[in-house]
Amino acid sequence: MARALTDPERDHALAGLAAWQLEAGGKAILRTFRFPGFRAAFGFMTEAAIEAERLDHHPEWSNVYREVKVRLTTHDAGGLTELDLELARRMETIAAGRLAP
Q: What are the sequence ranges of the domains in the chain?
A: 7-95
CATH of 7-95, one of 3.30.1360.20, 3.40.50.620, 3.40.47.10, 2.160.20.10: 3.30.1360.20
For residues 101 and 89, the model is more confident at 89
Residue type, 39: R
For residues 68 and 100, what is the distance between their CA atoms, to the nearest angstrom? 12
Alpha-carbon distance of 82 to 16, in angstroms, equals: 13
Please report the pLDDT score of residue 22 as a whole number.
95
Q: Cα angle at 37 between 43 and 69, to 5 degrees? A: 70
Q: What digits encode the pLDDT tens for the residues 29-54? A: 999 999 999 999 999 999 999 999 99
pLDDT digits (tens, 9 = 90+) for 6-30: 999 999 989 999 999 999 999 999 9
Which of 28 and 100 is assigned the larger pLDDT? 28
